[in-house]
């Protein structure tokens, strides 16, 4: 078997052509999101409980195992790979994994290696990310008000995130801001955030809050349909639908007054399942074929059962054929429990 020796040792890509993985509904699976850790240095109120119980570190895949798993997916036709968490940059020695995966960019086997971050570690890592082949990142930012930022993140340092965003821009990274739209918290701030982002050459995407994991607050108090937000924005901006895509579920508009792009991710009011090209891998080797469903495949057992990746390949194929047609998130006061019990940080944001 041919072996590509990366910085993390001998990762064994599968032999054969890179025919896209096709699920039973005819969708090509070309995008893998990988949660490298469930830990985070923030405790955002809509995402986590303040006193979280995280996975024992012994349960996590090693960086070498994550590299081998990602390489197997790339060999099977994945063209875009996103590292997530928790906060991916708090994983110890994470840059070893980023550097290892960057070899697939150099070889032409991967179109994009990117990550989603809260920005807290970007001052330290932005230049290194660029050097490893990362060209674009998503930064989660729900407000530009330092006091409200502290309220929503509980543990976050606003000034540090601002420094991190600037460090990323200086390193040459393209940045997209992700803001969860929250009723009575940031809905009136979205115009200001959009102008701020567009003035700096950054896109902004707004996201509906999703019912995942037990938290201290009632999500019905925070849920803001993006249909309403868009209608409000159209009172002062000219929004034109455009076909721009980044490979994810966002639908984009161009904002005439700012010249920038605004994305909408609407898992609640208009799900995007018909064109879903994504699967999610957790830091323990569990593959979720849908963010909003509990069905999952244990790839860690297949990974550790043999050094021959044909066994792992079979496990991946079987999982892809179980990918569901879609999800059915519900947020209302008659559904007091989250639609999915696991927190977003477990699956990967």
* Cα angle, residue 235 at apex, residues 206 and 258 outer, rounded to 5°: 60
Query: Which value, in Å, is the radius of gyration of the alpha carbons in the chain?
Result: 20
Ligand-binding annotation for 279, yes or no, is yes
Ligand-binding annotation for 40, yes or no, is yes
Helix (H) or strand (E) holding 126: helix 122-131
Ligand-binding annotation for 33, yes or no, is yes
* Alpha-carbon gap, residue 234 to 205, rounded angstroms: 16
Ligand-binding annotation for 176, yes or no, is yes
* Alpha-carbon gap, residue 213 to 209, rounded angstroms: 12
Nearest to 66 by CA among 149, 128, 7, 1: 7
Ligand-binding annotation for 276, yes or no, is yes
Ligand-binding annotation for 82, yes or no, is yes
* Alpha-carbon gap, residue 139 to 167, rounded angstroms: 12
Ligand-binding annotation for 116, yes or no, is yes
Q: Are 167 and 175 in contact (CB under 8 A)?
A: no
* Alpha-carbon gap, residue 82 to 236, rounded angstroms: 34
CA distances for 220 relative to 305, 331, 341, angstroms: 44, 6, 16
Question: DSSP label at 217?
Answer: S
Strands, E assignment, the chain: 4-6, 9-11, 21-22, 28-29, 31-35, 80-84, 112-117, 136-140, 174-181, 203-208, 239-242, 251-255, 260-265, 278-281, 286-288, 296-298
* Alpha-carbon gap, residue 75 to 218, rounded angstroms: 43
* Alpha-carbon gap, residue 26 to 24, rounded angstroms: 5
Name the β-bridge partners of 255.
Answer: 239, 260
Ligand-binding annotation for 46, yes or no, is yes
Ligand-binding annotation for 247, yes or no, is no
Ligand-binding annotation for 273, yes or no, is yes
31-35/80-84 β-pairing: parallel
Binding residues for [4Fe-4S] cluster: 40, 44, 47, 273, 276, 290
Binding residues for S-adenosyl-L-methionine: 46, 86, 140, 210
Binding residues: 33, 40, 44, 46-47, 82, 86, 116, 140, 176, 210, 273, 276, 278-280, 290
């Amino acid at each position: 078997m041919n072996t590509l020796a990366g910085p993390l040792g001998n990762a064994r890509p599968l032999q054969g052509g890179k025919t896209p993985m096709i699920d039973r509904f005819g969708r090509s699976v070309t995008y893998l999101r990988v949660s490298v850790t469930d830990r985070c240095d923030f405790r955002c109120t809509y995402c986590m409980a303040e006193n979280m119980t995280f996975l024992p570190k012994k349960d996590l895949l090693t960086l070498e195992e994550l590299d081998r798993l990602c390489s197997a997916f790339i060999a099977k036709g994945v063209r875009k790979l996103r590292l997530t968490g928790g906060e991916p940059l708090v994983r110890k020695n994470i840059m070893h994994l980023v550097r290892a995966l960057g070899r697939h960019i150099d070889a032409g086997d991967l179109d994009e290696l990117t990550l989603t971050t809260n920005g807290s570690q970007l001052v330290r890592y932005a230049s290194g990310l660029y050097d490893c082949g990362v060209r674009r990142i998503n930064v989660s930012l729900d407000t530009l008000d330092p006091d409200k930022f502290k309220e929503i993140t509980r543990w976050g340092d606003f000034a540090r995130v601002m420094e991190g965003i600037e460090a990323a821009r200086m390193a040459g990274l393209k940045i997209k801001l992700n803001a969860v739209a929250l009723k009575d918290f940031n809905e009136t701030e979205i115009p200001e955030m959009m102008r701020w982002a567009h003035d700096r050459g950054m896109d902004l995407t707004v996201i509906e809050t999703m019912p995942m994991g037990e938290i201290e607050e009632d999500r019905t108090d925070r849920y803001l349909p993006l249909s309403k937000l868009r209608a409000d924005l159209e009172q002062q901006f000219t929004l034109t639908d455009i076909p721009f895509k980044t490979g994810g579920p966002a639908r984009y508009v161009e904002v005439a007054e700012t010249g920038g792009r605004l994305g909408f991710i609407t898992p609640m009011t208009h799900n995007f399942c018909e064109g879903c090209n994504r699967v999610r891998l957790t830091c323990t080797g569990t593959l979720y074929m849908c963010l909003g469903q509990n069905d999952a495949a244990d790839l860690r057992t297949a990974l550790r059962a043999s050094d021959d990746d044909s066994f792992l390949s079979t496990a991946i194929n079987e999982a892809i054929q179980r990918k569901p047609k879609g999800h059915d998130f519900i947020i209302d006061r008659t559904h007091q429990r989250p639609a999915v019990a696991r927190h977003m940080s477990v699956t990967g944001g």
